[in-house]
Structure 1
């Protein structure tokens, strides 16, 4: 192997340039043909969710509803335990857990059913009844599982009926034409204590009231004129007598 003698670098040249110039031709060609290897960009810490976003949109509100019902069950169970002279803490925990399971399962299954029918904003009232009935059946099944296998079928039947009947009542209360809002639909219903007035009718009523006020003002002006005329005539008659 022949020794390689490196030339002394000239002024203004880098040592690496001199070494590269004295390297063998094959090595220099292989270095020229190599692509520029850019340093990989550092990856940002991406936040990974445990569940898909579509599933989180169902799970999160369902847990909130279940927590609300569970809290209500805690207080109700404590009150029931005190009335029955039983341990309030035990009754509170049991009823709170059951209410949490019923509320969360009902809300989650109802949201899934509504999405299956096309979404809550575009769904028909009849489809809402179907979704609530199915959700009630699921909640009844969950409650039956918690209370024992014998209660599964009665729970499904009872909660399905309650869910469908409750949705029918809600549809009857919130019924409205497609072009009206919920408030307008309620005000136009026979159960409303007040009457809904469109803008045109309200303006017409205001104009009638304004016309009445103008007529009353004109009558008052006429009365004032008559009183002044009568006063002037009485003054003249007194002067004539003098």
Structure 2
């Protein structure tokens, strides 16, 4: 039995050696270099990884000059709309057999408020969003809708609290629709605005700066040529006046 036991012991030792050889050697532990006492460990950044969104270039408050321009334009528009309101109010008062003066004053005041508030709100929005010339068509339509909603809110407050929400909805829709129609009529981009002057049947023609300068230079050249011809005629007349007249004896 001795040989068998020795054989089993040698077989078990060989299996242990094979397992030890086949097992992956563990990597040596990572050792960090000794840090200096003055060096502080870097902390991980706590800023959230969110995409940066480009913000709109909002302008500051308008200057007094710009406020005066916006106010003057809104007052002019309010006077025009107030005039229409006077006519409509007087007509409605006559049709209802009511005092036309009272109806005219009330309607004129309401229409004046609607027109002036709409123009003032739209002008302020255009200025705050970077200027009308820098806005896209969609932004112009949005500004018109917001300004219409503001004017409708003010007009509804004049007529009563129940008319505020309907006024915002109706006049906001009208403001956005009018801005959209004006954008369609004016065209988009840097294309030149079309008008009846661009038609081939128009008796007048739209001139650019270069065309106007060319026409002015052509007229100047024609004037110079006419002056040169007049100078030649004056010189020939002077020669005929200063030349001696032939004597009568020389003809015999």
Instruction: Name which of 79, 102, 118 aligns with 2:91.
Output: 79
- Structure number with the bigger relative contact order (C-alpha 8 A, sep ≥ 6) is 2
2:186 corresponds to which residue?
174
Cα distance change, pair 75–193 in 1 and its aligned pair in 2 (3 A)? farther
Distance in structure 1 (CA, Å) of the matches to 2:131 and 2:80: 24
Instruction: Name which of 95, 100, 125 aligns with 2:137.
Output: 125
- Spell out the pairing of 1:2-13 with structure 2 (5 A cutoff): none
Distance in structure 2 (CA, Å) of the matches to 1:159 and 1:181: 31
Please report how far the alpha carbon of residue 169 of structure 1 lies from its aligned counterpart in structure 2 after TM superposition.
1.4
Please report how far the alpha carbon of residue 122 of structure 1 lies from its aligned counterpart in structure 2 after TM superposition.
2.2
2:165 corresponds to which residue?
153
Unaligned runs of 5+ in 2: 1-62, 208-252
Unaligned runs of 5+ in 1: 1-50, 200-242
CA RMSD, Structure 1 to Structure 2 (Å): 2.7
1:70 matches 2:82: yes
Q: Give the TM-score normalised by the residue count of structure 1.
A: 0.54
2:194 corresponds to which residue?
183
Distance in structure 1 (CA, Å) of the matches to 2:83 and 2:197: 34
Q: Number of paired residues?
A: 143
Q: Deviation per CA, 1:174-222, whole angstroms, max 9, x where unpaired?
A: 21441x21126x899xxx8979xxx9xxxxxxxxxxxxxxxxxxxxxxx
Distance in structure 2 (CA, Å) of the matches to 1:96 and 1:58: 21
Q: Is the 8 A contact 1:110 1:131 kept in 2?
A: yes
Distance in structure 2 (CA, Å) of the matches to 1:98 and 1:175: 33
Cα distance change, pair 69–193 in 1 and its aligned pair in 2 (3 A)? farther
1:55 corresponds to which residue?
67
Provide the secondary structure at the position in 2 that maps to 1:170: helix
Q: Which has the larger radius of gyration?
A: 2
